[in-house]
């Protein structure tokens, strides 16, 4: 068999097949969103972003204040798709082996046995990740990038699907360690939940008067459906002009005067893949500039390191991402091949 890689347009599936794939993605996404929305009230856009990250096979960093539902989001998501769930509470005294697992010697069998750590689950909540030391945080790098962990020279693969939902509190700095650039870069996107409105908070009180709505959640999609939707997203058409627009945005982040370190090529891939997922969730088998614009901030801002002078002026990476988005020309329409 030849190793020749055909152009994307040539390898695209027939129109009816593509429509079935888009319908599958829409169906899977909507069922998960509806299920999680029973627990997380009034945050439908944030829920959609989380589901979008799951469909894009990426990890998500939720940066927000305590008590707004970050843990419940992860639990509701795992129950909705019938996946295993583990929570890791990060602390300064935690060791890498507390995350990945350890090999212990069995006196009866006279052999070493691997005791899996909490990272060996399909949905992992890394709670307050910035409270652990950089050495412990680095234990996540291999798992996040390659979906595997290596302990004592032996590699253990993660079960698909695999998603890390990490949280950090932006207002608590005492006893925290800033996430290294390499760690931040491995998160597909960074989102915020924020406070609910007074009306939404009243709904939360009513829903939890007798029991927590999480206890009534059931599986709404199968793992096979989810894996099929993840694969279908890769077939969504991205025109050359849109791809160039993504690269222009990322390049602009490297040339901005207030930026010390711009987005890596991994940022381009993140924006590319999430745009495909957003298009499919909207019922389209092609990406439009609005998909890219809607996801540029959540996929690029956390990859931008603000320069010292800009930090003094209280300029944030989100502000820079918005400036880049406003200054970069949007591509026009083109004839689809």
HEC string for 124-177: EEEECHHHCCHHHHHHHHHHHHHCEEEECCEEEECCCCCEEEEEECCCCCCCCC
> How far are the Cα atoms of 70, 135, 250, 252, 270 from residue 60, in angstroms, in the given order?
11, 20, 19, 24, 11
| Confidence (pTM) | 0.84
Q: Please give the pLDDT value at position 171.
A: 54
Percent of the chain with pLDDT over 90: 31
Count Cβ atoms within 10 A of the Cβ of residue 55 and give its class: 0-12 exposed, 13-18 middle, 19 or more buried. buried
Residue 230's contacts (CB-CB under 8 Å, 6 or more residues apart) are 55, 56, 57, 161
Mean pLDDT on 162-184: 77
Which residue did the predictor score with more confidence, 3 or 215?
215
Q: In the predicted model, is pLDDT for residue 30 greater than 50?
A: yes
Per the prediction, the chain carries an average pLDDT of 85
Which residue did the predictor score with more confidence, 6 or 185?
185
Quote the CA–CA distance of 263 and 265 in Å, as a whole number. Answer: 7
Report pLDDT digits (tens) over 177-205.
778 788 888 999 999 888 888 898 898 88
Report pLDDT digits (tens) over 263-279.
889 999 999 999 999 99
Q: In the predicted model, is pLDDT for residue 69 greater than 90?
A: no
Query: If phi over 0 gives left and psi between -120 and 50 gives alpha, with beta otherwise, what is residue 101?
Result: left
Decide: 250 and 265 in contact? Cβ < 8 Å. yes
Report pLDDT digits (tens) over 82-94.
888 899 988 888 8
Q: Which residues pair with 63 in a beta bridge?
A: 168
Mean pLDDT on 231-235: 92
Q: In the predicted model, is pLDDT for residue 1 greater than 90?
A: no
Q: Please give the pLDDT value at position 175.
A: 61
Please count the residues of the chain. Answer: 337
Q: Which of 28-32, 154-158, 274-278 has the lowest mean pLDDT?
A: 154-158
Q: In the predicted model, is pLDDT for residue 79 greater than 70?
A: yes
Long-range CB contacts for residues 83-86, cutoff 8 Å, separation at least 24: 83/121, 83/122, 83/123, 83/161, 83/223, 84/121, 84/122, 84/123, 84/159, 85/121, 85/122, 85/123, 85/124, 85/125, 86/118, 86/119, 86/120, 86/121, 86/123, 86/124, 86/125
Domains detected in the chain: 12-235 (3.40.50.300), 237-337 (1.10.8.80)
Residue 279's contacts (CB-CB under 8 Å, 6 or more residues apart) are 236, 285, 286, 287, 288, 291
Quote the CA–CA distance of 84 and 66 in Å, as a whole number. Answer: 24
Percent of the chain with pLDDT over 70: 92
Q: In the predicted model, is pLDDT for residue 335 greater than 70?
A: no
Quote the CA–CA distance of 42 and 159 in Å, as a whole number. Answer: 32
Q: What is the dihedral of CA 251, 257, 261, 265, to 10 degrees?
A: 0
Q: Which of 79-83, 149-153, 172-176, 258-262 has the lowest mean pLDDT?
A: 172-176
pLDDT band per the 50, 70, 90 thresholds, residue 172: low
Q: In the predicted model, is pLDDT for residue 337 greater than 60?
A: no
Q: Please give the pLDDT value at position 3.
A: 38
Q: Tokens in use for 217?
A: 């959640």
């Amino acid at each position: 068999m030849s190793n020749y890689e055909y152009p994307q347009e040539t390898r695209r599936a027939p129109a009816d097949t593509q429509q079935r794939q888009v319908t599958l993605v829409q169906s899977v996404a909507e069922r998960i969103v509806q299920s999680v929305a029973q627990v997380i009230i009034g945050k439908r856009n944030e829920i959609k972003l989380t589901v979008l990250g799951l469909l894009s096979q990426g990890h998500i960093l939720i940066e927000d204040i305590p008590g707004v539902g970050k843990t419940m989001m992860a639990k509701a998501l795992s129950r909705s798709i019938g996946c295993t769930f583990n929570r890791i509470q990060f602390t300064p005294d935690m060791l890498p082996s507390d995350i990945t697992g350890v090999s212990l010697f069995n006196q009866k069998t006279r052999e070493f046995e691997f005791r899996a750590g909490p990272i060996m689950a399909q949905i992992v909540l890394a709670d307050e990740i910035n409270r652990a030391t950089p050495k412990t945080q680095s234990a996540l790098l291999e798992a996040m990038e390659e979906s595997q962990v290596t302990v004592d020279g032996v590699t253990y693969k993660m079960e698909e699907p695999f998603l890390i939902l990490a949280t950090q509190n932006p207002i608590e700095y005492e006893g925290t360690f800033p996430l290294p650039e390499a760690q931040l870069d491995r998160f597909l996107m960074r989102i915020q939940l924020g406070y609910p409105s007074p009306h939404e908070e009243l709904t939360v009180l009513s829903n939890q008067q007798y029991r927590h709505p999480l206890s009534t959640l059931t599986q709404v999609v199968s793992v096979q459906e989810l894996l099929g939707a993840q694969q279908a997203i890769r077939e969504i058409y991205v025109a050359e002009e849109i791809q160039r627009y993504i690269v222009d945005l990322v390049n602009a982040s490297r040339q901005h005067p207030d930026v010390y370190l711009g987005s890596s090529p991994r940022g381009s891939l993140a924006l590319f893949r999430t745009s495909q997922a957003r298009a499919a969730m909207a019922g389209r088998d092609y990406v439009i500039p609005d998909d890219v614009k809607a996801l540029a901030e959540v996929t690029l801002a956390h990859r931008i390191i603000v320069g010292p002078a800009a930090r003094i002026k209280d300029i944030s990476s989100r502000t820079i991402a918005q400036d880049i988005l406003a200054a970069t020309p949007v591509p026009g329409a083109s004839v689809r091949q």
